[in-house]
Structure 1
Amino acid sequence: MQNEQTTGAAVRDAQKSFAMLFLTIFIPFGLGHFVSYLFRTVNAVIYDDLAGELHLPAESLGLLTGIYFLTFAAAQLPLGVMLDRYGPRSVQSPMLLIAAAGSVIFSLSHSEAGLLVGRGLIGLGVAGSLMSAIKACSIWLPVERLPLSTACLLSVGGLGAMASTAPLHAMLQWVSWRQMFLLLAVMTVLVSGIIHFSVRGAFTPKNTRFSDMCREVGRLYRSWVFWRLGLYSVFANATYMAILALWMGPWLHDVAGLSSSRMADALMSGTVAMVAGSLSFGWLTDYLRKYGVQPIMICGSGVAIFVLFQLLMLSGLPISPFIITVGFSFFGTAATMNYAIVAQSVEPALAGRVSASFNLVVFLLAFIVQWLVGMVIGRWHTVAGSYPVVAYQWSLAMLIALQAPGLLLWLTFKPWQRKSI
């Protein structure tokens, strides 16, 4: 009887603990990642408004959308150090206020320079959203659960991308894109407040000097293990973010011939697939771990299929654009699972820095990819407001060529063997 009572108390304590973790990690930090993804992908729906009102060519749209990735990347190393020193709550909450200010500036700007400043501040302000969430999970959750918890957080980000498609398109029937960015600023301030007041997990600030912590970041970048685990997926990850952040919308309009409303519906389907993909790859990684299957096997296999869908986009075959959008979005989430793989390779005290160091590489490449695609497409003139199919084929061929070496590197790992790399 005593043993049964003890067991029952342990179960209740575990349930209470899980409920608290859900309330203090997944909800507040998940909302932060929701906002981050919404800002990241919103230009895919409003690009026509920006191009029409401000007469922006493809190169400028690529730069304007990509500046988010550049400032996001620039913040990663100091953010990684601050997350490990001060904890996720103390870093994430004030950073979101910067994003809110950027959203206000973006909404009020009537020049390309003003839009760049606003978009850059947005990227800077949300730069710690996923990293702070991963840091929180590494502090308060068992390390073997990190891939699953990361997948859950990524799926919440997918909901943010989902909100930026058909729901946002419907919202634009009632408000202008400028008013919408003011509303996004208000929402961002509210999320900042939720994180500040609801996260109560214990975190002891580190007294380590910044110079020492920065030197450890330098050691990470000199580590072959870090690069070996990161390089096979970085271009796939950058391509995934750059295409969904902007160019999937124009491709659906110019190549697939969809109207604005149908394009929003297709993007909506893609974001549903993104959420499903994050959860599926996270669950599959967690489940197959019991049978000795390496997470890198699942991640790399998904990336290979992701590249296959890019080949289908390039091919011109009569395939439904909804199928291509769903497949691209679903299997592209496999590349994001490498965040957890890299974070697992170090002790929890380094999780913030290693995740931020990897994120810096990914987002810097996303900026370059975003801009390069715009440069390639911009070499052709528009016909009746649309770029020709060949412009998109050349840009996709360039992206596939950048991702191919990563897949070859992945094969050298022999990931099908059930052993650690």
Structure 2
Amino acid sequence: MRVLLSAYGSRGDVEPLAGLAVRLRALGAQARVCAPPDEEFAELLAGVGVELVPLGQPVRSFMHGATPPSAAELTRLRIAMVAEQFDTVAAAAEGCHVLVAAGLAQVAARSVAERLGIRYVYASYHPVSLPSPHHPPAPRQGWPPPPEGAGNRTLWDLDAQGITELFGHALNTRRASLDLPPVDNVRDHVFTDEPWLATDPVLGPWREPADLDVVQTGAWILPDERPLPARLMAFLEAGSPPVYVGFGSMRAPEGIARAAVEAIRARGRRAVVSRGWADLAVLDDRDDCLVVGEVNQQALFGRVAAVVHHGGAGTTATAARAGAPQVVVPQMVDQPYWAGRVAALGIGAAHDGPTPTAASLSAALTTALAPGTRDRARAVAGTIRTDGAEVAAKLLFDTAARGGPPGPA
């Protein structure tokens, strides 16, 4: 069996596909990944022996330029990506049996599968992106605020309308050139009636009843066997467990490193600060702080007192699996959801708003570092599933074996 896995986004979008590709290979399938051509993603996939098919422009240079991209610039990129997907994804999917698309940015993927006559699966990395009567859609940058008092179903209808207005013309123009019928509702066309949800059922549950027949596989985790750098190991062994601070691929809040270190010191703790795409740094040379680059979080988080982060799905799941209390400072999209789940599960604190101060982080750390939070985090860690990628890989084999006309699994 041959499978194409496609996503366009940050590391949190690409790494789960690498985890799924590795499990597919272990079961005897061939898998390649369509993803942005960032050097970090190329190294990640090459490190596990998975082929990268470059898709679009690098994400890091676009998202971390001198100024943040405007809503208009993001819109232009997204529309241009429709044509890019029809060309790149279609070429990469030749000879494949199944195409798996992750994230709404994959507007053209189902049309490609339809044209090639292969099976199609849509996957989400967080419940909040899928329409449900139990939650509203996440706010979309540049869109007008929703009507006051509107219910969830109304908000989801407006969300579908906005997505179709944004992508409908570009999508249907290319579909017409391929003799495919037009699509009236782009979002629901991309998602299908049976989307997959690649989240842990405890950490990110799907609530029923719902309009969609969601298949929850568990999170797609790429095992990381890399040793921690010697300098980091020496720092860990030189004192009590530190607090980790990292914002991954986000444009981190201005002054976050200084505020976090002040808050951590106020709690009598040491700090490990991850540079990330925001290039965080510590402004003094005291020996109670260490700045690190890309490291094995799976190994590190089991050795820290708490994890302060942006609330990406991957970081949240890794910290939860490690039993590390969390302070989530959500910035966008699904991150407020994960902050709320961390607080609801009692495994950490959700910061109120995206721009913390030393005082607000110190208060959140008081909750995260409390003995009861640590005990609860360790208890929840034992319930987190680690077989999501294997479950998904086996389901893909079943999907391919069914054969039949192209369409959702």
User: What's the TM-score, normalizing by structure 2?
Assistant: 0.29
Could you say which structure has the higher helix fraction? 1
Could you say which structure has the higher strand fraction? 2
User: What's the TM-score, normalizing by structure 1?
Assistant: 0.28
